[in-house]
Amino acid sequence: MNVLILGSGGREHALAWKLSQSKKIDQLYIAPGNGGTQHCGTNIDIAPDDFEAIKKITLEQQIGLVIVGPEAPLVKGITDFFTAEEKLKSIPVVGPTKAGAKLEGSKDFAKAFMQEFKIPTAQYQSFTKDTLKEGKTFLETLKAPYVLKADGLAAGKGVLILEDIDEAKIELENMLTGKFGDASATVVIEEFLKGIELSCFCYTNGKDYVMLPEAKDYKRIGEGDTGLNTGGMGSISPVPFANKAFLQKVEERIVEPTIHGIQQRGIDYHGFIFFGLMNVNGDPYVIEYNVRLGDPETESIMPRIKTDLMDMFGAGIEDNLKDFTLELKPDFATAVMLVSGGYPEAYEKGKTITGLNAVKDSIVLHAGTKINNNETVTSGGRVMAITSLDQTMEAALKTSMNNAEKINFDKKYYRKDLGFDLK
């Protein structure tokens, strides 16, 4: 079968790396891909939200399965587009319909969903411009810190956490009057949850599900989790505090009722669900849903999976997922992200990357890279993840850090303290 992956980041390189090992794939295409994915298959220079171009390539290359990496095409309705087109409707897409993508695309929708299906999450209320006054009154009933969330997608920047009530009231007004454009026309105000975060994932056909390995993501630019938020500075899987008892709570209290809710709402959902969780004294709460895999979580999850992913997708499509489990490597995987100096603020692109051939014992998963005159150069803020496997987290991290030193580009930066909170 020929398979098409949509997206261009480290997540998509990790998926392409894993799928390139499958004997069940004839040709693997990645659109648009990056400087790394071209070693796993063929890059096709089209945007993941250019549905007509995707249709053309799908038919031309006789694609039998489409895997959607990022959320944007899902929120825009790529799966619905395939279902509505006579020539495409028999081709399975890994990624939910627009109705399912609302779990990520609208925080207000996700909160109401969790409330209806009794899924543990922070208490909340939603407000619009017309209920600004009520919003300010609601803030007074809460204790600091105050959590304000833009309802819609705001490029990962739509959440504000504020210590001061007056500042929270001002920001609420700013958000409702366009701080994040349409995305903050509705604002969710919620209770602050104190704990430690982790990311859990399942693959589902809307009826049954398979759990993927969990991971911890490091979002801040600075060591000790300080400074600005980024797309993710690295990830570690498994997460030591997510023991069997905790993961059982996650399945029983969160994953199962989520799948049940999807069915109750009549949502057509075939794809991944990413549960952004807070561990509050041993109990999991949902911070957010995403309708895709995480980046950089996928960069530490994929290398731990022994099972051919095509078998998992096949089981989902053929409705044999009930008793399907993934075989995992017991090892720790650590993904250390190399970023461009200045990121997540202004940074330069087009820097030559050297030393890639010196890396023997890690997997290099490209994110913001491209090939320029046979040279790999930087093309984004997050440049590449260095993923290593070993029996202990410390040993895996040591290998990633050693290799992070071997790869060079002007103004390279990476966090050297990943895992500091897991020891």
**Residues binding ligand GLY (CB under 6 A):** 217, 232, 290, 294-295, 297
Shortest approach of ligand AMP to residue 2 CB, angstroms?
35
3-state secondary structure of 84: helix
Q: d(Cα 85, Cα 351) in Å, to the nearest integer?
A: 42
Question: What does 283 interact with, of ligand GLY, ligand AMP, none (CB < 5 to 8 A by kind)?
Answer: none
Task: Looking at residues 340 to 369 of the shown chain, list those that interact with ligand AMP (rule: CB under 6 A).
Answer: none
One-letter amino acid identity for 243? Answer: N
- Distant-in-sequence, close-in-space partners of 141: CB < 8 Å, separation ≥ 6: none
Report the residue from 64, 276, 341, 355 that binds ligand AMP according to the rule CB under 6 A: 276
Kindly provide the residue ranges of all beta strands, DSSP E only, lying in 281-419, ordered along the sequence: 283-290, 332-340, 363-366, 369-372, 375-378, 382-390, 412-413
| Site for ligand AMP contains 288 (CB under 6 A) | yes
Report the residue from 12, 80, 190, 295 that binds ligand AMP according to the rule CB under 6 A: 190
Cβ–Cβ under 8 Å, residues 333 and 236: yes
User: Torsion over CA of 90, 3, 371 and 36, rounded to 10 degrees?
Assistant: 130
Report the residue from 1, 46, 91, 159 that binds ligand AMP according to the rule CB under 6 A: 159
| Site for ligand AMP contains 151 (CB under 6 A) | no
Q: According to DSSP H, which parts of 126-176 are helical?
A: 132-141, 165-176
How many residues bind ligand AMP, per CB under 6 A?
A: 11
Q: Which is nearer to ligand GLY, 14 or 114 (CB)?
A: 14
Question: What does 138 interact with, of ligand GLY, ligand AMP, none (CB < 5 to 8 A by kind)?
Answer: none
Shortest approach of ligand AMP to residue 231 CB, angstroms?
12
Q: Which is nearer to ligand AMP, 91 or 159 (CB)?
A: 159
Question: What does 339 interact with, of ligand GLY, ligand AMP, none (CB < 5 to 8 A by kind)?
Answer: none
String of contacts with ligand AMP for each residue 114-143, x by CB under 6 A: --------x---------------------
Nearest CA among 115, 187, 110, 177 for reference residue 151: 187
Q: d(Cα 92, Cα 167) in Å, to the nearest integer?
A: 47
| Residue that has been written with the tokens 């031309």 in this structure | 60
Q: Which is nearer to ligand AMP, 81 or 285 (CB)?
A: 285
- Distant-in-sequence, close-in-space partners of 137: CB < 8 Å, separation ≥ 6: none
Q: Which is nearer to ligand GLY, 135 or 231 (CB)?
A: 231
Nearest CA among 416, 359, 415, 351 for reference residue 380: 351
| Site for ligand AMP contains 386 (CB under 6 A) | no
Shortest approach of ligand GLY to residue 91 CB, angstroms?
26
The binding site for ligand AMP (CB under 6 A) comprises 122, 147, 149, 159, 190, 192-193, 197, 276, 287-288
